[in-house]
Amino acid sequence: MTTPLPFVDLKAQYARLKPRMDARMRAVLDHGQFILGPEVVELEAELVRFSGAAHAITVSSGTVALTISLMAEGIGPGDAVFVPAFTFAATAGPVLAVGATPVFCDVGADTFNMDPADLERAVADVLAGGSLRPRAVIPVDLFGLPADYAAINAVADAHGLFVLADAAQSFGASRGASRVGRLAAVTTTSFFPSKPLGCYGDGGAIFTDDAGLAEVMRCIRVHGQDADGACVRLGMNGRLDTLQAAALLVKLEAFEDEIQARDSLARRYDRALRGAVTLPARIEGAASAWAHYSIVVDNRDGLRDALAARGIPARVYYPSPLHLQPAFRDYGGGPGSLPVSEELSRRILSLPIYPDLDEATVDRISDAVIAALK
Ligand SMILES: *Cc1c(COP(=O)(O)O)cnc(C)c1O
């Protein structure tokens, strides 16, 4: 093969959206309100409409969205926050940043999402330990598939836990009658360029139906200032800039079609790869946003190298669960303590999936996977 395939192709997306994108970006350059300009207000209204949540607060990244949510809820020292071990570091980092303690849970072998039974086990362990107060849980919608919020919310209700959904990879997905943004008390997402809905830099958003919490979050986003500019609480600079909001408004117009395109490519991979590898789980009534199409295989590194030799990029999300990484290992039970997360980190592999990927290329990638496994 000649041209190496990109893992995500943002240039093709820009070529498709260029006239609208250039016009909306230029409009910001012309009006010059780069911070909290009219596009930010417009985007927040569109995000409310899209998600069905009562409030959408745009922020400067998915990490900041999580941090502001924990701050708004008053989570800090002495609080245990339950986090899946098989996720990106940004799920757990904000917990430490506010002074709380991450407590890692294992995930389901098929969905890769937080196992509600292991959450129950982890809460019991914290209660038995007696030194921390179980306070919040951060389920992650890994690779775009919403976690089992019905089961997690039930465990959370029983123990008085605040449920903060890390939907950095799943904006645009749904479960049951609800879209992401309405599945937990508070939901955060990321607009990092390669996420399902990405901007041209860093960005994120917070969704909630709670008007009081939304007001506190807006206050934290601008240094803890109230409408008169008085600092009434600890805050930060957590704003999304206006140019990014303009880019997101254009991408949001195409987003429903892009999610459909991702889903149809995922189905195509499923048909080609069924029987050869473990396919991503399908959950009745749930629709993934397909941030990644991730398969489970025995000789993962061998497959990745064989694909690379044919110019096909495949990536490992994630090569190590959080409880085994230096920044977090003091908070976990060490190797062997969360066996599903540890095994997935050895066997998972993500194949290219993005709206501008064509079917012939999916077929070529699938053929290469099957050939490499023979
Ligand atoms: C990308 C990501 C984040 C962080 O988002 P940023 O916008 O990069 O700060 C958090 N959690 C998960 C699961 C992610 O994939």
CATH number at residue 331: 3.90.1150.10
- Cα-atom radius of gyration of the chain, to the nearest Å? 21
**Structural domain ending residue among the three candidates 208, 238, 253:** 253
3 domain-assigned: no
Q: Assess whether 231 and 136 both reside in one domain.
A: yes
Q: Ligand 1 mean position to 171 CA, how many Å?
A: 12
Q: Assess whether 178 and 127 both reside in one domain.
A: yes
Structure confidence at residue 8 (pLDDT): 95
User: CA 240, 242, 246, 247 torsion: positive or negative?
Assistant: negative
Contact of 329 with 309, CB cutoff 8 Å: no
**Structural domain ending residue among the three candidates 207, 235, 253:** 253
Q: Assess whether 268 and 165 both reside in one domain.
A: no
Task: Render 360-373 in DSSP notation, one character per residue.
Answer: HHHHHHHHHHHHHH
Q: Ligand 1 mean position to 248 CA, how many Å?
A: 17
Q: Assess whether 327 and 244 both reside in one domain.
A: no
Which of 66, 88, 112, 239 to mutate for ligand 1's pocket (most ligand atoms within 8 Å of CB)? 88
34 domain-assigned: yes
Contact of 170 with 287, CB cutoff 8 Å: no
Q: Assess whether 161 and 234 both reside in one domain.
A: yes
Contact of 53 with 207, CB cutoff 8 Å: yes
Q: Assess whether 35 and 145 both reside in one domain.
A: yes
Q: Assess whether 222 and 261 both reside in one domain.
A: no
Q: Assess whether 60 and 180 both reside in one domain.
A: yes
Structure confidence at residue 374 (pLDDT): 87
HSE-CB for 350 with a 13 A CA cutoff = 20
Record the pTM. Answer: 0.98
> What are the structure tokens assigned to 134, written together?
């179980």
Domain with 324 in it: 255-373
218 domain-assigned: yes
**Structural domain ending residue among the three candidates 203, 219, 253:** 253
Q: Ligand 1 mean position to 119 CA, how many Å?
A: 21
Q: Assess whether 247 and 266 both reside in one domain.
A: no
Please tell me the total count of domains within the chain.
2
Q: Assess whether 184 and 204 both reside in one domain.
A: yes
Cα dihedral 188/189/191/195 (nearest 10):
160
313 domain-assigned: yes
Does ligand 1 lie within 6 Å of residue 61's CB atom? Answer: yes
Neighbours of 33 (CB within 10 A): 11
Q: How far apart are CA 323 and CA 128, in angstroms?
A: 20
Q: Assess whether 179 and 320 both reside in one domain.
A: no
Structure confidence at residue 2 (pLDDT): 53
Q: Assess whether 274 and 245 both reside in one domain.
A: no
2 domain-assigned: no
Digit-by-digit pLDDT tens for the chain (374 residues) are 457 799 999 999 999 999 999 999 999 999 999 999 999 999 999 999 999 999 999 999 999 999 999 999 999 999 999 999 999 999 999 999 999 999 999 999 999 999 999 999 999 999 999 999 999 999 999 999 999 999 999 999 999 999 999 999 999 999 999 999 999 999 999 999 999 999 999 999 999 999 999 999 999 999 999 989 999 999 999 999 999 999 999 999 999 999 999 999 999 999 999 999 999 999 999 999 999 999 999 999 999 999 999 999 999 999 999 999 999 999 988 999 999 999 999 999 999 999 999 999 999 999 999 999 98
Q: How far apart are CA 231 and CA 212, in angstroms?
A: 18
Structure confidence at residue 198 (pLDDT): 98
